[in-house]
Structure 1
Amino acid sequence: MRIATINRSTAETRIDVTVNLDGTGVYSIKTGIGFLDHMVEQLSRHGLIDIDLKVDGDLHIDGHHTVEDSALALGQAVAQALGDKRGIRRYGDALSPMDETLTRVALDISGRPWLVWKTAFTVSRLGELDTELIEHWFHSFAQTAGITLHVETLYGSNNHHIVEAAYKGLARALRTAVEIDPRKSDAIPSTKGVL
């Protein structure tokens, strides 16, 4: 089983996260930020990745550390669960529609972290989540997961839909990329022989 647990403790946050890449989309998410919980639930459900995430953060200051550190820990857990990445499909992409919004997500589990973010918001907050932190969550996740990640909202007007389409697109692209390819389940998907 491709399962990993990360415990991250700093002066700003305490995080416990477990992921199962071969799960069914079962989740328990408690970050203290309701909208962030809802988005990570989308990642789990549509990515078929079981996620158990508990965060105790310094929300009396603001949401920055909770958002950043939860993404760092979750990305680290995904990377650890992937191991040497033997047999994975490596690449994934998704067009993610949500009502009036259409978002494109493409990723490569390359070991070379990068984020291209072409998404903007017209409000400063969604629930208790500052919208400027959403890009930061994707950046932090890509860094520790070791993925090249492109997120582009092709069109859309409802900010909730724009964010949710991005998370659902990430979920579906990641689901494809982490799957074991039955045609090459014994090989590292790189001409270098390592990822």
Structure 2
Amino acid sequence: MIEVTRETKETQISVKLNLYGKGQAKIDTGVGFFDHMLEAFTKHAHIDMEVTCTGDTHIDDHHTVEDVGIVIGQALREAIYPVKSIERFGNATVVMDEASVTCDIDLSNRGFLVFELPIGGKVGEFDVELVEEFFRAFAFNLPLTLHLIYNRGKNKHHIIEAAFKALAVSLRRAVAINENAGIPSTKGVL
């Protein structure tokens, strides 16, 4: 199990992660909707993950959501790199009721984010603009190339949850063991 911690004046975070787990989650960030998304991500990525965060949520949830993305990305970086004997690429389209989101990833060791989800406002008390902040922090700290593309949907909760689940399935596929892959790059290193 990999453990990564981060302490700033704004947040204190601990992430424990097993890349090849059973989808078991213990999530407590103090942000209910975000916890729900991380639980869905953990379940569908088939990783085991514990996340605890104490943040300055009395101000807002921004630092908590972004910083958790940083630390989860760092923990996955430790678990995945250097890339060897895995598929490297993963993609999935996930539907949730009327919503459909496609995710494509490349464990390229290069951080990049394409975020095309037309969401704004709130889900309950959660500012949905923070979803992009999470995915950016995640992508650049892992690092990986991450594309999240909206296909259809109206309900913000459904669109966001489909995005987290699509990332989870894409990651699960990208880290699938393939002994024949060796180092899956013509460069010879990732």
TM-score by length of 1: 0.95
Q: Are the aligned partners of 1:34 and 1:127 in contact in 2 as well (CA < 8 Å)? A: no
- Percent identity between matched residues is 45
Q: What secondary structure is seen at the aligned counterpart in 1 of 2:30?
A: coil
Aligned residue among 57, 69, 76 for 1:71: 69
**Which residue is equivalent to 2:137?**
140
Match of 1:13 in 2: 11
Aligned to 2:174: 177
How many residue pairs get aligned? The number is 190
In the alignment, which residue of structure 1 is the partner of 2:47?
A: 49
Aligned CA RMSD, in angstroms, stands at 0.9
Q: Deviations over 1:89-112 (max 9, x none)?
A: 100000111111111100000011
Q: What amino acid maps onto 1:33 in structure 2?
A: V
Residue equivalent to 1:96? 94
Q: Residue 185 of structure 2 corresponds to which residue in structure 1?
A: 190
The answer as to 2:127 corresponding to 1:127 is no
**Structure 2 equivalent of residue 149 of structure 1:** 146
2:161 alignment counterpart = 164
- Offset at residue 179 of structure 1 (A): 1.6
TM-score relative to the length of structure 2 = 0.97
1:60 and 2:55 are equivalent in the alignment: no
Which runs of at least 4 in structure 1 moved beyond 4 Å after TM superposition?
none
Q: Following the alignment from structure 2 to structure 1, what is the Cα–Cα distance between the partners of residues 183 and 165?
A: 27
List alignment gaps of at least 5 residues for structure 2.
none
